[in-house]
Amino acid sequence: MLLSPMESAALLLSLKVAFWAVLCSLPFGVALAWLLARRDFWGKSLVDGLLHLPLVLPPVVIGYLLLVALGRNGVIGKGLYEYLGVSIAFTWKGAALASAVMAFPLLVRTVRLSIDAVDVRLEMAARTLGSGPWRVFFTVTLPLSVPGIVAGMVLAFARSLGEFGATITFVSNIPGQTQTLPLALYTMTQVPHGEGAALRLCFIAIVIALLALISANRLEKSFARST
Protein backbone atom coordinates (compact mmCIF):
# COMPACT_ATOMS: atom_id res chain seq x y z
CA MET A 1 0.00 0.00 0.00
CA LEU A 2 1.84 3.05 -1.29
CA LEU A 3 0.87 6.54 -0.24
CA SER A 4 0.93 9.53 -2.54
CA PRO A 5 3.10 12.52 -1.55
CA MET A 6 -0.01 14.34 -0.32
CA GLU A 7 -1.08 11.40 1.83
CA SER A 8 2.42 10.92 3.23
CA ALA A 9 2.66 14.62 4.05
CA ALA A 10 -0.71 14.51 5.83
CA LEU A 11 0.33 11.45 7.87
CA LEU A 12 3.68 12.92 8.88
CA LEU A 13 2.06 16.25 9.78
CA SER A 14 -0.53 14.45 11.91
CA LEU A 15 2.20 12.62 13.82
CA LYS A 16 4.10 15.89 14.29
CA VAL A 17 0.97 17.74 15.47
CA ALA A 18 -0.03 14.95 17.87
CA PHE A 19 3.50 14.69 19.30
CA TRP A 20 3.77 18.40 20.10
CA ALA A 21 0.18 18.57 21.31
CA VAL A 22 0.84 15.88 23.92
CA LEU A 23 4.33 17.08 24.84
CA CYS A 24 3.29 20.69 25.45
CA SER A 25 0.10 19.85 27.33
CA LEU A 26 1.61 17.11 29.53
CA PRO A 27 3.04 19.34 32.33
CA PHE A 28 -0.22 21.28 32.60
CA GLY A 29 -2.23 18.05 32.51
CA VAL A 30 -0.24 16.42 35.30
CA ALA A 31 -0.40 19.58 37.44
CA LEU A 32 -4.16 19.96 37.00
CA ALA A 33 -4.76 16.25 37.59
CA TRP A 34 -2.80 16.41 40.85
CA LEU A 35 -4.68 19.54 41.91
CA LEU A 36 -8.07 17.93 41.29
CA ALA A 37 -7.03 14.65 42.92
CA ARG A 38 -5.30 15.97 46.02
CA ARG A 39 -6.76 19.39 46.81
CA ASP A 40 -10.18 20.74 47.71
CA PHE A 41 -10.78 24.38 46.83
CA TRP A 42 -13.58 26.78 46.05
CA GLY A 43 -14.71 26.40 42.45
CA LYS A 44 -13.33 22.88 42.03
CA SER A 45 -16.57 21.68 40.40
CA LEU A 46 -16.46 24.62 38.00
CA VAL A 47 -12.86 23.85 37.04
CA ASP A 48 -13.77 20.21 36.54
CA GLY A 49 -16.72 21.19 34.37
CA LEU A 50 -14.67 23.59 32.25
CA LEU A 51 -12.03 20.89 31.82
CA HIS A 52 -14.56 18.50 30.30
CA LEU A 53 -16.24 21.05 28.01
CA PRO A 54 -14.24 19.96 24.93
CA LEU A 55 -15.73 16.48 25.34
CA VAL A 56 -19.34 17.69 25.12
CA LEU A 57 -19.13 20.83 22.96
CA PRO A 58 -19.06 20.54 19.16
CA PRO A 59 -15.39 20.70 18.12
CA VAL A 60 -16.28 23.54 15.74
CA VAL A 61 -17.16 25.66 18.78
CA ILE A 62 -13.70 25.09 20.27
CA GLY A 63 -12.08 25.92 16.94
CA TYR A 64 -14.10 29.11 16.62
CA LEU A 65 -13.23 30.21 20.15
CA LEU A 66 -9.55 29.62 19.41
CA LEU A 67 -9.90 31.66 16.23
CA VAL A 68 -11.60 34.51 18.11
CA ALA A 69 -8.90 34.46 20.78
CA LEU A 70 -5.76 33.70 18.77
CA GLY A 71 -6.52 34.76 15.21
CA ARG A 72 -4.53 37.69 13.80
CA ASN A 73 -7.40 39.98 14.77
CA GLY A 74 -8.26 38.03 17.90
CA VAL A 75 -8.23 39.18 21.50
CA ILE A 76 -4.79 37.68 22.16
CA GLY A 77 -3.60 36.87 18.67
CA LYS A 78 -3.63 40.48 17.49
CA GLY A 79 -1.09 41.50 20.13
CA LEU A 80 1.05 38.43 19.47
CA TYR A 81 1.19 39.22 15.77
CA GLU A 82 1.70 43.00 16.03
CA TYR A 83 4.32 43.02 18.79
CA LEU A 84 6.02 39.63 18.49
CA GLY A 85 5.32 38.67 14.90
CA VAL A 86 3.81 35.39 16.09
CA SER A 87 0.89 33.93 14.16
CA ILE A 88 -0.78 30.76 15.41
CA ALA A 89 -3.95 30.52 13.33
CA PHE A 90 -3.62 28.78 9.94
CA THR A 91 -0.31 27.15 10.90
CA TRP A 92 0.66 23.67 12.05
CA LYS A 93 1.27 25.12 15.51
CA GLY A 94 -2.37 26.12 15.61
CA ALA A 95 -3.32 22.58 14.62
CA ALA A 96 -1.23 21.29 17.54
CA LEU A 97 -2.94 23.74 19.90
CA ALA A 98 -6.42 22.74 18.72
CA SER A 99 -5.53 19.05 19.11
CA ALA A 100 -4.09 19.68 22.57
CA VAL A 101 -7.26 21.44 23.72
CA MET A 102 -9.49 18.63 22.46
CA ALA A 103 -7.30 15.88 23.94
CA PHE A 104 -6.59 17.64 27.24
CA PRO A 105 -9.64 16.27 29.13
CA LEU A 106 -8.67 12.67 28.31
CA LEU A 107 -5.11 13.27 29.45
CA VAL A 108 -6.13 14.90 32.74
CA ARG A 109 -8.84 12.35 33.49
CA THR A 110 -6.50 9.38 33.01
CA VAL A 111 -3.69 10.94 35.03
CA ARG A 112 -6.11 11.96 37.77
CA LEU A 113 -7.35 8.38 38.12
CA SER A 114 -3.77 7.14 38.43
CA ILE A 115 -2.99 9.73 41.11
CA ASP A 116 -6.20 8.84 42.95
CA ALA A 117 -5.00 5.22 43.02
CA VAL A 118 -1.77 6.15 44.81
CA ASP A 119 -2.03 5.34 48.51
CA VAL A 120 -2.15 8.62 50.43
CA ARG A 121 -0.51 6.90 53.39
CA LEU A 122 2.69 6.56 51.39
CA GLU A 123 2.75 10.32 50.84
CA MET A 124 2.02 10.93 54.52
CA ALA A 125 4.84 8.61 55.51
CA ALA A 126 7.24 10.52 53.29
CA ARG A 127 6.17 13.78 54.90
CA THR A 128 6.73 12.41 58.40
CA LEU A 129 10.28 11.55 57.34
CA GLY A 130 10.89 15.19 56.51
CA SER A 131 10.13 15.37 52.79
CA GLY A 132 8.51 18.55 51.53
CA PRO A 133 5.52 18.65 49.17
CA TRP A 134 7.64 18.90 46.02
CA ARG A 135 9.90 16.04 47.04
CA VAL A 136 6.90 13.87 47.95
CA PHE A 137 5.39 14.54 44.56
CA PHE A 138 8.54 13.76 42.57
CA THR A 139 9.71 10.77 44.63
CA VAL A 140 6.40 9.11 45.59
CA THR A 141 3.34 10.33 43.72
CA LEU A 142 4.83 10.81 40.26
CA PRO A 143 6.73 7.49 40.01
CA LEU A 144 3.68 5.53 41.14
CA SER A 145 1.53 7.39 38.60
CA VAL A 146 3.82 6.85 35.62
CA PRO A 147 1.82 3.98 34.00
CA GLY A 148 -1.35 6.07 34.18
CA ILE A 149 0.47 9.11 32.84
CA VAL A 150 1.81 7.11 29.90
CA ALA A 151 -1.68 5.71 29.24
CA GLY A 152 -3.07 9.25 29.28
CA MET A 153 -0.39 10.36 26.84
CA VAL A 154 -1.25 7.52 24.48
CA LEU A 155 -4.96 8.32 24.58
CA ALA A 156 -4.27 12.02 24.07
CA PHE A 157 -1.96 11.20 21.17
CA ALA A 158 -4.65 9.09 19.51
CA ARG A 159 -7.26 11.80 20.08
CA SER A 160 -4.93 14.41 18.59
CA LEU A 161 -4.40 12.28 15.50
CA GLY A 162 -8.15 12.10 14.95
CA GLU A 163 -8.97 15.75 15.58
CA PHE A 164 -11.00 17.32 12.77
CA GLY A 165 -13.61 19.95 13.67
CA ALA A 166 -11.55 22.31 15.81
CA THR A 167 -8.56 21.97 13.47
CA ILE A 168 -10.35 22.80 10.24
CA THR A 169 -12.08 25.77 11.90
CA PHE A 170 -8.94 27.22 13.46
CA VAL A 171 -6.25 26.49 10.87
CA SER A 172 -8.25 25.59 7.74
CA ASN A 173 -7.29 22.75 5.38
CA ILE A 174 -4.07 23.83 3.66
CA PRO A 175 -2.18 20.97 1.92
CA GLY A 176 1.35 20.62 3.22
CA GLN A 177 0.81 23.14 6.02
CA THR A 178 -2.27 22.32 8.10
CA GLN A 179 -3.79 19.34 6.28
CA THR A 180 -3.64 16.52 8.81
CA LEU A 181 -4.74 12.93 8.22
CA PRO A 182 -8.47 13.50 8.98
CA LEU A 183 -8.53 16.63 6.82
CA ALA A 184 -6.83 14.81 3.95
CA LEU A 185 -9.37 11.98 4.25
CA TYR A 186 -12.20 14.51 4.15
CA THR A 187 -10.67 16.13 1.07
CA MET A 188 -10.44 12.78 -0.72
CA THR A 189 -14.14 12.14 -0.13
CA GLN A 190 -14.95 15.42 -1.86
CA VAL A 191 -12.98 14.97 -5.09
CA PRO A 192 -13.67 12.64 -8.04
CA HIS A 193 -11.89 9.28 -7.92
CA GLY A 194 -10.65 9.91 -4.39
CA GLU A 195 -12.14 6.71 -2.97
CA GLY A 196 -8.88 4.76 -3.08
CA ALA A 197 -6.91 7.39 -1.20
CA ALA A 198 -9.77 7.82 1.28
CA LEU A 199 -9.78 4.09 1.99
CA ARG A 200 -6.02 4.03 2.51
CA LEU A 201 -6.14 6.96 4.92
CA CYS A 202 -9.14 5.43 6.72
CA PHE A 203 -7.25 2.16 7.16
CA ILE A 204 -4.20 3.97 8.53
CA ALA A 205 -6.33 5.97 10.98
CA ILE A 206 -8.06 2.80 12.23
CA VAL A 207 -4.76 0.95 12.71
CA ILE A 208 -3.17 3.83 14.63
CA ALA A 209 -6.25 4.26 16.82
CA LEU A 210 -6.43 0.54 17.61
CA LEU A 211 -2.74 0.37 18.48
CA ALA A 212 -3.12 3.37 20.78
CA LEU A 213 -6.18 1.96 22.54
CA ILE A 214 -4.60 -1.48 22.98
CA SER A 215 -1.42 0.12 24.35
CA ALA A 216 -3.38 2.30 26.78
CA ASN A 217 -5.43 -0.69 27.95
CA ARG A 218 -2.32 -2.79 28.58
CA LEU A 219 -0.68 0.03 30.49
CA GLU A 220 -3.75 0.45 32.68
CA LYS A 221 -3.84 -3.31 33.41
CA SER A 222 -0.12 -3.24 34.21
CA PHE A 223 -0.70 -0.35 36.57
CA ALA A 224 -3.60 -2.17 38.25
CA ARG A 225 -1.44 -5.26 38.83
CA SER A 226 1.42 -3.20 40.22
CA THR A 227 -0.83 -1.53 42.77
pLDDT in tens, 65-78: 999 999 988 899 99
Q: What is the pLDDT of residue 225?
A: 65
Name which residue leads in pLDDT, 74 or 1: 74
Q: What is the pLDDT of residue 2?
A: 74
Q: Judge whether residue 224 has pLDDT over 70.
A: no
Domain segments of the chain as ranges = 5-37+51-57+91-226
Q: What is the pLDDT of residue 46?
A: 94
DSSP category for residue 190: T
Residues 6+ apart with CB under 8 A from 152: 29, 106, 107, 108, 109, 110, 111, 114
- Stretch 104-129: mean pLDDT: 92
DSSP category for residue 85: -
Q: What is the pLDDT of residue 226?
A: 60
Determine the Cα–Cα distance for residues 34 and 111; give it in Å rounded to an integer: 8
Check if the beta carbon of residue 180 is closer than 8 Å to that of residue 172. no
Task: Measure the CA angle with vertex 53, ends 65 and 117; round to 5°.
Answer: 140
Looking at CATH, the fold of the domain delimited by 5-37+51-57+91-226 is given as MetI-like fold (1.10.3720)
Q: Judge whether residue 131 has pLDDT over 90.
A: no
Name which residue leads in pLDDT, 219 or 139: 139
If we measure between CA atoms, which residue out of 154, 24, 172 comes closest to residue 101? 24
Average pLDDT, the chain: 90
If we measure between CA atoms, which residue out of 139, 145, 105 comes closest to residue 123? 139
- Residues 183-201 as b or e (16 or more Cβ within 10 Å = b): bbbbbbeeeeeeeebbebb
pLDDT in tens, 148-190: 898 899 889 999 999 999 999 999 999 889 999 999 999 998 8
